[in-house]
């Protein structure tokens, strides 16, 4: 029977939680969560008053008492779940869910009993009849059981949805990190081979740059690094491409107005430089200049990457914009709605702008 209940509540089997961050219950110590809880509790009190059918203007005293009653249950339950969250996260999903469920029901019964005793003491109309105490507590517990069941179910479904989003994001980031163009690798190896005898020092530098790029793709998915380190990876890539394109490739950078310790997901700028070269510079007979500029706007970092594009549309590469989609997804995962990726495209220029909060990378 218990197994059937577990399958109904939580369709997929879950291993015991090893980390508090994987727990399905929200963090009730967080002020934002408490604010949402207070709003929800107040809406429930209003619904209960409306359900009585009384005139709302004549029920303000009842609404006030009911609001206090519901808020006490909500905040005491939040306090208990906040204090016990770290302990519950160590146990299995079904045990933690049942324990949290019993906590909420027990707190409701306690508050309902205390409220009824208080109303009897002040001889209020709700509590002047001792015979109704058991009925009142029973009704409160029944309502709490239903609401708690729905809330726990919602928290679990939301946590499963977040996990699916994170797994999808991780897969996209891994695809981006593994996305090294085969012809870039072959061209790099050919350039290195041609330089070994004539310019061995330059060939050695190219090997080091290439190894740094590959090392970056093998690091942990979603690694966060300082902006200075991310730009160093870009320069490694640009030095290699510079050996192939020669004077056709010019880079103009300006990071004097942006903190170089700003946190940024690894391999965010490098794909933008790669797109600028393959969809712009290399298609131009005389090449062109890639402009990259960073600036601090309030508490946000703004980075712009601009490159010229061919004037004849037939010559343009048909890229699938995979890099831009992945970068936008990674910024959204890390910074949420505070991050933006914008495009400014015309017949002569293609510009990408990144905006994200300034967070120091320790």
Q: Are residues 279 and 210 in the same domain?
A: yes
Please tell me whether residues 226 and 122 are part of one structural domain: no
39 lies in the same domain as 169: yes
Residue 84: inside a domain, yes or no? yes
Residues 308 and 323 in one domain: yes
Q: Is 179 left (phi over 0), alpha (psi -120 to 50) or beta?
A: beta
Average pLDDT, the chain: 79
pLDDT value at 275 more than 50: yes
| Tokens representing residue 56 in the block | 């709302």
- Among 122, 143, 175, give the residue marking a domain's end: 175
Residue of 295 and 336 predicted with greater confidence: 295
Q: What is the mean pLDDT of residues 46-73?
A: 76
Q: How many Å is the Cα radius of gyration of the chain?
A: 30
- pLDDT band for 224, please (50, 70, 90 cuts): confident
- 96-108: burial string, b at 16+ Cβ within 10 Å, e else: bbbebbebbbebb
Q: Containing domain of residue 249, as a range?
A: 179-357
More confident residue, 199 or 305: 305
For residues 7 and 146, which has the higher predicted lDDT (pLDDT)? 146
Distance (Å, whole) CA 192 – CA 240? 9
Q: How confident is the model at residue 6 (pLDDT cuts 50, 70, 90)?
A: very low
User: Do both 166 and 314 map to the same domain?
Assistant: no
Cα angle vertex 223, ends 221, 225, to 5°? 160
Q: Residue 129: what pLDDT?
A: 58
Question: Which range (33-47, 119-133, 335-349) has the least confidence?
Answer: 119-133
> Within this chain, do residues 257 and 332 fall inside the same structural domain, yes or no?
yes
Query: In this structure, are 57 and 197 located in the same domain?
Result: no
Q: Which of 131, 146, 175 is the last residue of a domain?
A: 175
Distance CA 268, CA 222 (A): 10
The bridge status of strand 249-257 relative to strand 340-345 is unpaired
The Cα–Cα gap between 181 and 240 comes to 13
User: pLDDT digit string (tens) for 103-145?
Assistant: 999 999 999 888 888 777 776 655 555 556 678 888 889 998 9
Q: What percentage of the chain reaches a pLDDT higher than 90?
A: 20
pLDDT tier for residue 75 given thresholds of 50, 70 and 90: very high
DSSP letters of 303-353? EEEEEE--SSGGGS-----HHHHHHHHHHHHHHGGG-EEEEEE-SSEEEEE
Residue 11 included in any domain = no
Residues linked to residue 351 through DSSP beta bridges, in sequence order: 306, 344
Q: Is residue 258 part of a domain?
A: yes
Last residue of a domain, one of 175, 210, 230: 175
How many Å apart are CA 136 and CA 142, to the nearest integer? Answer: 10
């Amino acid at each position: 029977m218990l197994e059937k209940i577990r399958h109904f509540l939580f369709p997929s089997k879950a291993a015991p939680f090893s980390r508090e961050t994987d727990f399905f219950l929200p963090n009730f110590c967080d002020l934002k969560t408490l604010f949402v809880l207070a709003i929800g509790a107040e809406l429930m009190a209003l619904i209960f008053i409306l359900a009585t059918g009384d005139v709302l203007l004549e029920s303000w005293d009842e609404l006030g008492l009911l609001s206090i009653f519901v808020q006490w249950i909500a905040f005491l339950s939040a306090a208990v779940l906040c204090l016990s969250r770290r302990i519950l996260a160590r146990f299995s999903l079904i045990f933690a869910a049942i324990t949290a469920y019993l906590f909420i029901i027990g707190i409701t019964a306690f508050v309902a009993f205390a409220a009824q005793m208080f109303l009897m003491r002040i001889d209020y109309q709700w509590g002047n009849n001792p015979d109704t105490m058991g009925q009142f507590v029973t009704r409160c517990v029944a309502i709490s059981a239903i609401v708690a069941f729905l809330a726990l179910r919602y928290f679990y479904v939301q946590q499963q949805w977040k996990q699916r989003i994170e797994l999808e994001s991780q897969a996209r980031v891994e695809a981006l990190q593994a996305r090294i163009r085969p012809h870039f690798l072959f061209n790099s190896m050919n350039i290195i081979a041609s330089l070994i005898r004539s310019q061995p020092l330059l060939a050695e530098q190219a090997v080091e740059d290439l190894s740094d790029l590959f090392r970056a793709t093998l690091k942990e998915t979603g690694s966060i690094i300082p902006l200075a380190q991310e730009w160093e990876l870009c320069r490694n890539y640009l030095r290699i491409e510079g050996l192939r394109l020669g004077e056709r490739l010019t880079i103009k950078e300006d990071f004097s107005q942006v903190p170089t310790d700003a946190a940024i997901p690894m391999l965010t700028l490098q794909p933008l430089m790669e797109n600028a070269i393959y969809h712009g510079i290399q298609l131009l007979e005389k090449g062109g200049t890639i402009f990259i500029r960073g600036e601090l706007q309030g508490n946000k970092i703004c980075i712009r990457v601009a490159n010229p594009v061919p004037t004849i549309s037939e010559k343009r590469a048909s890229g699938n914009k995979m890099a831009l989609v992945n970068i936008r997804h990674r910024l959204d995962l890390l910074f949420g709605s505070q991050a933006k990726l914008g495009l400014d495209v015309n017949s002569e220029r293609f510009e990408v702008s990144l905006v994200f909060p300034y967070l120091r990378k320790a």
